[in-house]
């Protein structure tokens, strides 16, 4: 079996599919993308092209590179061509029974050489692959959103995933210009979401306890630890300041942190009132007074500059 991954099938053209498709097409792969809803597939292709145009506009790629990537994408109406792929990446609804049935089906129609990957953000690949006859080829490849700008992809090894599968996917993602990390234990939340949920839990607790306002919590993260994380991680920080000092700080602070295994009261109360965030117009913020499109634009402009800087270093 060749280790090369040259043909990739993207199942799901919603939020994550187009960005992933663009990443692998730019890496030189023949790329198929499908969705069970025809309108979603049409919208996914549109988003694929918008993502390419954005990278051209900001001089991350050339117009010629964008045109070549477009020529590598083929939208298809169903899974009939999945059997020709070296790698299938699932980006469908985040519901375990649906994913289990999907993986059972593609396990039956794809040759054993095809790696079957899930873009799940929190489910265990071991559970997703529970109905498969060949779970050794099932693996998580969690692209972080937005998939065309974020470098991180979490490669999670399931309880029955082979080492060969993990290494093939890891090497492929490096060729795509991504920064993959490997999780050797298949836990809910993988790696980065576990870290992120710990921050979210404490952020909600700080607000509900009256320690600081919503805006000041955001500012503390954005202008404090968050701004240096790209080059200075938490474990590097401990080594730099000294583990003895780190231990002393933890001994003082950890006993006072939120250690609940349930969601905070503040967020529960918001949900109970129907304040679900942008989708309802109000959550932690009043979105009738803020523009989510502007926020996403600011995010993407920041990320694309970071991407450009990374590519120059490489």
Catalytic residues: 121, 142, 154, 193
Of residues 78, 83, 77, 15, the one with CA closest to residue 51: 15
Q: How far apart are CA 213 and CA 215, in angstroms?
A: 5
- In the structure, how many helices (H) and strands (E) does the chain have? 13, 8
CB 27 within 8 A of CB 175: yes
E-strand ranges in the chain read 7-11, 30-34, 73-75, 87-90, 115-118, 138-143, 152-157, 179-183
Q: How far apart are CA 181 and CA 194, in angstroms?
A: 14
How many C-beta atoms surround the C-beta of residue 299 within 10 A? 13
CB 169 within 8 A of CB 4: no
């Amino acid at each position: 079996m060749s280790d090369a991954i040259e043909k990739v099938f993207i199942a799901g053209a919603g939020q994550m599919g187009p960005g992933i498709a663009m990443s692998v097409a730019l890496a030189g792969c023949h790329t198929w993308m499908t969705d069970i809803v025809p309108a979603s597939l049409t919208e996914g292709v549109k988003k694929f092209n918008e993502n390419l145009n954005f990278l051209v506009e900001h001089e991350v790629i050339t117009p010629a590179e964008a045109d070549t990537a477009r020529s590598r994408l083929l939208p298809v109406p169903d899974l009939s061509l999945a059997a020709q792929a070296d790698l299938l990446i699932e980006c469908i609804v985040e519901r375990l029974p649906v994913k289990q049935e999907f993986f059972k089906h593609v396990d039956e129609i794809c040759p054993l050489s095809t790696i079957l990957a899930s873009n799940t953000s929190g489910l265990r690949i071991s559970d997703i692959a529970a109905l498969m006859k060949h779970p050794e080829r099932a693996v998580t490849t969690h692209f972080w959103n937005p998939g065309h700008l974020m470098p991180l992809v979490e490669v999670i090894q399931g309880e029955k995933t082979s080492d060969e599968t993990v290494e093939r996917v890891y090497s492929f993602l490096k060729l795509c210009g991504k920064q993959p990390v490997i999780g050797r234990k298949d836990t809910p939340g993988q790696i980065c979401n576990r870290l992120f949920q710990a921050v979210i839990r404490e952020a909600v607790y700080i607000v509900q306890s009256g320690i600081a306002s919503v805006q000041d919590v955001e500012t503390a993260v954005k202008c404090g630890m968050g701004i240096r994380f790209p080059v200075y991680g938490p474990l590097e920080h401990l080594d730099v300041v000294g583990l003895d000092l780190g231990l002393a700080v933890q001994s003082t602070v950890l006993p006072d942190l939120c250690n609940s295994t349930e969601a905070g009261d503040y967020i529960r109360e918001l949900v109970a009132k129907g304040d679900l965030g942008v989708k309802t117009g109000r959550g932690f913020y009043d979105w009738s007074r803020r523009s989510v499109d502007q926020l996403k634009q600011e995010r993407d402009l920041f990320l694309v500059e970071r991407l450009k800087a990374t590519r120059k270093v490489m």
